[in-house]
Chain A
Amino acid sequence: MQALLSFAQSPPLDAPFRFFLTAPLFAILAGMLMLWGGPDLFASRWTPAALALTHLISVGFMLQVMLGAMIQILPVFAGANLLRPRLVVPVVHATIALGALLLVAGFLSQQAPAFWLAVLLLGSGLALFIGAAGHALHHVPATNPTINGLKLALPGLSVTVGLGILLAVGLDGAFALPLLQLTSLHLVWGFVGWGVVLLAAVAFVVVPMFQLTPPYPAWFARCFAWLVLALLCCWTVTARWPGPSSLLAGAVVLSVAAFAVHTLQLQRCSKRARFDATQHCWRLAMLCTLAACAVWFTGVRGPSLTARQEWLCGVLALFGGFMSVMIGMLYKIVPFLVWLHLQNLGGVHFLAPNMNKVISAPQIRYQMQAHFLALALLLAAVVWPRWFAYPAGLAILIANLWLLRNLLAAVGFYRQQGQKIAAMLPATPATASR
Chain B
Amino acid sequence: MRAITEFMANHHRCCDGLLVAVEQAVVSGAWERARTEFARFQDAMRHHFTAEESLLFPLFEQSTGMYRGPTQVMRGEHGQMRQLLAGVASALDARDGEDYAGSVETLLIMMQQHNIKEENVLYPMCDQHLADQVDALLPGLQSQIAGEERVPT
Contacts and interface: CB of A to CB of B under 8 A. Distances in A.
Contacts of B73: 7-8
Contacts of A210: 108-109, 112
Nearest to A355: B106
What's the interface size class on A, roughly? Answer: 35 or more
Contact of B70 (A7, A143, A212): A7
Contact of A79 (B64, B80, B120): B120
Interface string B112-132: 110111001110110000000
Contacts of A356: 98, 101-102, 105-106
Given A8-B73, A348-B79, A147 B102 contact: no
Contacts of A205: 116
Contact of B121 (A79, A272, A355): A79
Nearest to A206: B112
Interface string A198-216: 0000000100011010000
Given A78-B121, A143-B120, A274 B70 contact: no
B110 A340 contact: yes
A357 B102 contact: yes
A212 B16 contact: yes
Contacts of B122: 4, 7
B56 to A, nearest CB: 14
B83 interface: yes
B120 A146 contact: yes
A357 B106 CA distance: 10
Given A7-B69, A7-B73, A209-B116, A273 B105 contact: no
Contacts of A272: 23
B140 interface: no
A171 B112 CA distance: 47
Contacts of A116: none
B24 A354 contact: no
A351 B19 CA distance: 21
B147 interface: no
A79 B117 contact: yes
A351 B110 CA distance: 13
A135 interface: no
Nearest to A147: B120
What's the interface size class on B, roughly? Answer: 35 or more
A273 B27 contact: yes
Nearest to B73: A8
B144 to A, nearest CB: 23
B94 interface: no
B142 interface: no
B125 A4 contact: yes
Contacts of A351: 83-84, 86-87
A8 B72 contact: yes
Contact of A8 (B70, B80, B105, B115): B70
A212 B12 CA distance: 12
Given A354-B103, A354-B106, A273 B69 contact: no
A7 B69 CA distance: 8
Contacts of B98: 356
Contacts of B105: 276, 354-356
A424 interface: no
B27 A274 contact: yes
Interface in A247-279: 271-274, 276
Contact of A354 (B16, B27, B102): B102
A356 B108 CA distance: 12
A273 B108 contact: no
A240 B120 CA distance: 42
Interface string B69-108: 1101100000110011011000000000011011101101
Interface centre among A7, A332, A354, A357 (most CB of B within 10 A): A354
Contacts of B125: 3-4
A141 B103 CA distance: 35
Contacts of A79: 70, 117, 120-121
B48 to A, nearest CB: 16
A158 to B, nearest CB: 24
Nearest to B123: A143
B146 interface: no
B23 A273 contact: yes
B106 A339 contact: yes
B145 interface: no
Given A8-B73, A212-B19, A356-B106, 5 more contacts: A4-B122, A79-B70, A339-B106, A351-B83, A351-B86
30 contacts: A1-B64, A3-B121, A4-B69, A4-B122, A8-B70, A77-B116, A78-B120, A78-B121, A143-B120, A146-B120, A210-B108, A210-B112, A212-B16, A212-B19, A271-B20, A272-B23, A273-B23, A273-B27, A336-B110, A343-B80, A348-B79, A351-B83, A351-B86, A351-B87, A354-B102, A354-B105, A354-B106, A356-B101, A356-B105, A357-B102
5 A-B pairs with least C-beta separation: A356-B102, A354-B102, A79-B121, A273-B23, A273-B27
